[in-house]
Amino acid sequence: KKIFLSKKKCFEVKKKKEITGACSFNIGLNDQNIALHLNPRFDVWGDKDTIVLNSVENSKWKDEVQPGGFCFFRGESFKIIIKFKCKGFSITLPNGSRITVPNCIYANKYSYFRFDGDVSISSVEIR
């Protein structure tokens, strides 16, 4: 079954566990066109306690954005909520703060979802 995230939909990743280094949550059209790359990093690639946001268009990474407000804790469960609207993504972090990211690829729906790194995901909800 193919799942699409279309405008005005909410994508909720619940009860993730055990981030130890870094993980990433990617939403896009495919691995060469990622509209949202959310990458919490504890201490990797020269970043410590940093959230990195990015996108990929035609296999080319765009400039990284580091919004601050790191609110993840090693080995602790957390929940993030990603809401998608045509103009962009609204991300609610574990502490309730929000980050807005523009829809750089300008698609109306996305079917590519990928989770990588040092995280165990126990549930995902799309509504």
% of the chain surpassing 70 pLDDT: 84
Instruction: Name the strand (E) or helix (H) holding 1.
Output: none
What is the distance of C-alpha 123 from the center of its chain?
15
Give the three-state DSSP class for 86: coil
Q: What is the pLDDT of residue 1?
A: 39
Give residues with Cβ within 8 angstroms of 23, minimum separation 6. Answer: 16, 39, 40, 115, 116, 117, 118, 119
How many domains is the chain partitioned into structurally? 1
Residues 55/34, Cβ–Cβ less than 8 Å: yes
Domain that holds residue 45: 5-126
Q: What is the pLDDT of residue 99?
A: 96
- Read off the CATH number of the domain in which 21 is found: 2.60.120.200
Q: What is the pLDDT of residue 93?
A: 94
Beta bridge partners of 103: none
Q: Kindly report, residue by residue over 41-83, the tens digit of the pLDDT.
A: 988 888 999 999 999 999 999 999 999 999 998 888 888 999 9
